Amino acid sequence: MIVKQNTLFALYSICGILLKAAATKNKVKGAQGQYPIVQNVTVTEGGTANLTCRVDHNDNTSLQWSNPAQQTLFFGDKKALRDNRIDMVRASSQELTISIREATLSDEGPYTCSLFTMPVKTAKAYLTVLGVPEKPKINGFTKPAMEGDQITLTCVTSGSKPAADIRWYRNEKEIKGAKEVNASGKTFTVRSSLQLHVDRNDDGVAYTCRVDHVALPSSPQQATEVLEVHYAPRVEIRHTQTLPQEGHFLKLECVSKGNPSPDPVLWTKDGGELPDLERVIVEGRDLTFTSLNKTDNGTYRCEASNHLGTNHAEYVLFVYDPNALGPHGPDHALIGGVVAVVVFVTLCLIIVLGRYLARHKGTYLTNEAKGADDAPDADTAIINADGNHAHAEEKKEYFI
């Protein structure tokens, strides 16, 4: 009986050992059958990159991060490389996360996470470091430019990775430039040029160079150059009265546009100086008549100059007598002028029409008298004329 019990205990022990061995084998097999899970990371130069490695199930098997040079950074929660920029964020049996602060372009490359099973399982996460383009600069313009000059504006930005894109704007409107890209180590230098034939319309215009890059998603870098263009003046005279009359007020404004500004302007009358009268006032660019008089009649010239040239405009002043114009003044004068033109045109048409009718009537009488030139008397002439008609009829019938 005792032997039988010992035999049963031995059998139970053997079964327990076999079950425990099977359980241990399954755990090892489960750890060996899985791989670490990682993801690629992109960071802007100077930023912080977090690298995470995880496994779904782990039986206290160690995880390790290594850099592109295969130097161990962290083995579990133990730091292996002396780099103050690299820190451990989280370490457990199922996850190892590290951070790299102040990332540089030299940090870019494949980082390896290792799971120390038998054999060791690995996964690679690629760290991409974006090179931030420098603030652009615009070269090639020396103030001021002269109207008609050919100038080249060149926008330059360095340090971008990948190569940046440069766009030009004239005020708010985009214009096209010529782009050039040069590699400089791991980064790129980008240039874009504009060829301009400047005129007075470019004076005060803002040309903006904007740099677009994946590292600057919401705040592109830009530089602006405001052109200064010198040009000769252009002059025009503006006035406030359509029909100047005696005793009325009249203001002539000399509008001159040039750079440098053509100040002061010069007013003259009929090629000479202005009359020295209290009611004729020159103030700045304005010539004012406080009370017009017929003696003010004449040609007034405004002249403006700068170092690039001179320009002028003229205004012919004729002062009307309000009594001669009547109660409706300008309306009666205008109507009288229109009536005079209509009468003149009508007379011309009558004369032309009369001459035309007279010429055709003479031609008719001449044809009627054909055949009478050689006739000795009137009867013979009539017979000859009739004969001519008869011949005409015969000719008509012949041609028909």
Sequence-ordered list of residues with C-beta below 8 angstroms from that of 122, at least 6 positions apart, any chain: 36, 112, 113, 114, 115
**303 has which bridge partners?**
266, 312
- Average pLDDT on 327-331 reads 51
Nearest to 68 by CA among 129, 152, 138, 131: 129
Q: Strands of 165-170's sheet, edge to edge?
A: 173-175, 165-170, 206-212, 221-226
Tokens of 65: 């991060």
User: Sign of torsion, CA 17 18 19 22?
Assistant: positive
Q: What pLDDT shows up at residue 3?
A: 36
pLDDT tens by residue, 134-180: 999 999 988 899 999 999 999 999 999 999 999 999 998 999 999 99
CA 299/CA 33 separation, integer angstroms:
106
b/e code 350-388 from CB counts within 10 Å (16+ = b): eeeeeeeeeeeeeeeeeeeeebeeeeeeeeebeebbeee
CA 254/CA 236 separation, integer angstroms:
6
Burial of 192 (0-12, 13-18, 19+ CB in 10 A): buried
Domain locations along the chain: 41-130, 137-227, 232-325, 330-369
pLDDT tens by residue, 344-369: 788 878 887 877 777 765 544 444 44
Tokens of 387: 């004969």
Do 137-227 and 232-325 come out as alike in CATH topology? yes
| Residue linked to tokens 């690298």 | 51
User: Sign of torsion, CA 69 75 81 83?
Assistant: positive
Burial of 78 (0-12, 13-18, 19+ CB in 10 A): exposed
Long-range contacts of 373-376 (CB under 8 A, 24+ apart): none
Give the largest Cα separation in the chain, rounded. Answer: 192
CA 113/CA 248 separation, integer angstroms:
97
Q: What pLDDT shows up at residue 213?
A: 94
Q: Tell whether domain 137-227 is in CATH 3.40.50.300.
A: no
Tokens of 184: 């400089």
Q: What pLDDT shows up at residue 247?
A: 92
CA 251/CA 291 separation, integer angstroms:
11
Q: What pLDDT shows up at residue 302?
A: 96
Q: Tell whether domain 41-130 is in CATH 1.20.140.10.
A: no
Q: What pLDDT shows up at residue 156?
A: 97
Q: What pLDDT shows up at residue 338?
A: 64
pLDDT tens by residue, 18-43: 333 333 344 444 445 588 999 999 99
User: Sign of torsion, CA 130 136 139 141?
Assistant: positive
CA 39/CA 52 separation, integer angstroms:
7
Q: What pLDDT shows up at residue 21?
A: 38
Q: If DSSP codes are grouped into helix, strand and coil, which group holds residue 8? A: helix
pLDDT tens by residue, 56-92: 887 778 899 999 999 999 999 999 998 999 999 999 9
* CATH code of domain 232-325: 2.60.40.10
